[in-house]
Structure 1
Amino acid sequence: MSSTTTAPNIIFILADDLGWADLSVYGQTDFQTPHLDALAAQGVRFTQAYANSAVCSATRFALITGRYQYRLRGGLEEPLVRTAHKYGLPPEHPTLPSLLQGAGYETALIGKWHLGNLPTFGPLKSGYQHFFGNYGGAIDYFTHKPRVGEAVARDLYEGEVPVERVGYYTQLLADEASNWIRQQSAAKPFLLSLHFTAPHWPWVGPEDEAVSRNLTDIFHYDGGNLHTYAKMVRSLDAAVGQVLQTLQAQGLSDNTIVVFSSDNGGERFAKTWPFTGQKTELLEGGIRVPTLLRWPARLKPQVSEQVTITMDWLPTLLAAAGVAPDARYPSDGENILPVLEGQAPVHERTLFWRYKAQRQRAARDGRWKYLKINDNEFLFDVETDTLERANLRHQQPAVFARLRQAWADWNAQFLPITDEVITHGLSPDIQADRYAPDLATRGM
Structure 2
Amino acid sequence: MKPNLIYIVADDLGYADLGCYGGREAPFGAVSPHIDALAAGGLRLTEGYANSPVCSPTRFAMITMRYQYRLRGALEEPINSRSKGSTTLGLPPDTPTLPSLLREAGYHTALVGKWHLGYPPAFGPLRSGYDEFFGIMAGGVDYFTHCSGSGDHDLYLGEEPHREVGYLTDVLSARAVDHVKHRAERARDGQPFFLSLHYTAPHWPWETRDDAGIAPEVAANLFHLHGGNVDRYRRMIHHMDEGIGQLVQALRDERLLDDTLIVFTSDNGGERFSDNWPLVGGKMDLTEGGIRVPWVAHWPNGIAAGSHSDQHCMTMDWSATMLDLGGGQPHPDFPLDGVSLRGLLQRPADRFERPMYWRMKHRRQRAMRDGRWKYLQVDEHEYLFDIAADARERANLAGRDPRRLQAMREAWLAWDATMPPIPADATVSLGYSAKDMPQR
User: Shared fold (TM-score greater than 0.5)?
Assistant: yes
Equivalent positions of 1:19-418 (< 5 A) are 19-31=14-26, 32=30, 33-81=32-80, 82-83=82-83, 85-86=86-87, 87-147=89-149, 152-184=151-183, 185=186, 186-187=188-189, 188-215=191-218, 216-301=220-305, 302-342=307-347, 345-356=350-361, 359-418=364-423
Distance 2:245 2:432 in 1: 38
Alignment CA distance shift 1:428-1:373 (3 Å): farther
Moved more, 221-230 or 131-140: 221-230
8 A contact 1:202–1:222 mirrored in 2: no
Query: What does the per-residue CA deviation read over 1:301-341, in whole Å, with 9 as the maximum and x for residues that have no partner?
Result: 20011101001123211211222222221110111111332
Q: Indicate if the aligned counterparts of 1:59 and 1:263 stay in contact, CA closer than 8 A.
A: yes
State the SS of the aligned residue for 2:142: coil
Aligned partner of 1:353: which letter?
Answer: W
Any conservation in 1 of the 2:149–2:221 contact (CA below 8 Å)?
yes
CA deviation after TM superposition for structure 1 residue 426, in Å: 5.2
Structure 1 regions of 5+ residues with no counterpart? 1-5, 430-444
Partner of 1:145: helix, strand, or coil?
A: coil
Q: Partners in 2 of 1:393 and 1:182 — Cα distance?
A: 55
In 2, Cα distance between equivalents of 1:153 and 1:360:
34
Q: Secondary structure at the match of 1:25?
A: helix
**CA drift at 1:357:** 6.8
Q: Shift in Å at residue 419 of structure 1?
A: 4.8
Check whether the contact 1:277–1:283 (CA below 8 A) recurs between aligned residues: yes
SS of 1:214's equivalent in the other structure is helix
AA in 2 matched with 1:378: Y
Q: Secondary structure at the match of 1:37?
A: helix
Residues 333-375 of structure 1, C-alpha deviation per residue, up to 9 Å, x if partnerless?
A: 1111113322983112200000017800000001110000111
String of CA shifts for 1:178-205, please: whole Å, max 9, x gaps: 0011011222100000000000000001
Residue aligning to 2:438:
none
Deviations 1:269-324 (A, max 9, x none): 00000000000000000000011001111111200111010011232112112222
* Distance across 2 between alignment mates of 1:276 and 1:357: 17
Structure 1 pair 314–158 and aligned structure 2 pair: CA distance change class (3 A): same
SS at match of 2:392: coil
**1: CA distance, partners of 2:93 / 2:309:** 35
| SS of aligned partner of 2:60 | helix
Could you tell me whether the CA contact under 8 Å between 2:309 and 2:349 is conserved in 1? Answer: no
Supply the distance in 1 between the matched residues of 2:293 and 2:194 (Cα, whole angstroms).
22
Percent identity between the two aligned chains: 49
Distance 1:178 1:416, change over 3 A: same
Q: Normalising to structure 2: TM-score of the pair?
A: 0.93
Length, aligned pairs only:
422
In structure 2, list runs of 5 or more residues that go unmatched: 435-440
Aligned residue for 1:181, secondary structure, equals helix
Instruction: Give the whole-Å Cα distance in 2 for the aligned partners of 1:138 and 1:156.
Output: 11
Q: Say whether the 8 Å CA contact 1:15–1:199 is kept in structure 2.
A: yes
